[in-house]
Structure 1
Amino acid sequence: MMDTEFPLQLPLKIDWSDLDYFGHVNNISYFRYIQAARVNYMEHIGLVESYSTEKKGPIVASCKCDFIQPLFYPGDITIRSKINFIKKTSFGIYHQIMNAKGEVAAEAQDVMVMFDFNQNTKSPITAELRETIEQLENKKIGKKPE
């Protein structure tokens, strides 16, 4: 089922190795889930290919996670992702990590900065990239976070 608010959803299984001493999913594992969702989003908008052909792509400037409720093994999760702002050289990806009951277990925010690895400097977000994101999101995206 397509979620119109979150155009990309990544289902994952909780692995036993994700647990901490207390028997719930370790905070580090949440960041691995977020990373998987981030890469999934970048693949969908062509940034993985852009890096391999032009050596331009996003770097992580910030990743913040708010833990709302614990996750446990065994279990299934879904990471829902959407872009919530686009600026001149950066954009934000908002994620929700959902438990198997459909409840929000964590909320995360990535800030990605476009980078030219040949020039070793930030690069502007192209009109084509903005258009690709807005088509996937099915909406215009402003400069300020929601």
Structure 2
Amino acid sequence: MDAFGHINNVVYLRYLEEARIDFMFRLARQADSGAFTGGSVVARHEIDYLKPMVHRHEPVTIETWVARLGGASVTVAYEIRDAETVYARAATVVVPYRLEDSRPRRLTAEEREFLSKYQDDGAGGLVEGSTAA
């Protein structure tokens, strides 16, 4: 929390990270996809803080979807919310990465296939929400 009792802005990044890892790794494994097993890095974060969130014991939902699918990157979009309030909207650009030689790489066909299932169709096609406290 910050001095005013609000959730600190850095905590929002942790929430996004938890949702992104759940999406890109847990969901991919459940789908028997080898997507992102070779590594990935975050190239950019963008967050719009819409309303301060105070410390709470109830979880918030982080709705997650693919906003953009490029040749060598994917933009993951999010909404941090509860039943009544949207606290933040955010996006993260993720770049697939070859860990062994420390270089970015293109998305594989398997990664593109997995990610395309969660691409926003303009009507809010979202991944099932992850939760954070």
Structure 1 residue 138, shift from structure 2 partner: 8.4
**Cα separation, 1, equivalents of 2:74 and 2:43:** 10
2:23: which partner in 1? 41
Q: Pairwise mapping of residues 1-146 of structure 1 onto structure 2 (< 5 A)?
A: 19-43=1-25, 44-46=27-29, 50-51=36-37, 56-74=38-56, 75-101=58-84, 103-137=85-119
Measure how far apart 1:100 and its partner are: 4.0
Question: For the residues of structure 2 that align with 1:49 and 1:86, how far apart are their CA atoms?
Answer: 14
The alignment partner of 1:70 has SS state of coil
Which protein is richer in helix relative to its size?
1
Structure 1 residue identity aligned to 2:90:
A
Unaligned runs of 5+ in 2: 122-133
In the superposition, the TM-score normalised over structure 2's length comes to 0.77
How many residues of Structure 1 are paired with residues of Structure 2 in the alignment? 116
Q: Under a length normalisation based on structure 1, what TM-score does the superposition of the two structures give?
A: 0.71
Pairwise CA RMSD: 2.1
Percent pairwise identity: 28
Could you list the runs of 5+ residues in structure 1 that have no partner in the other structure? 1-18, 140-146
Q: Distance in 2 between matches of 1:138 and 1:107?
A: 14
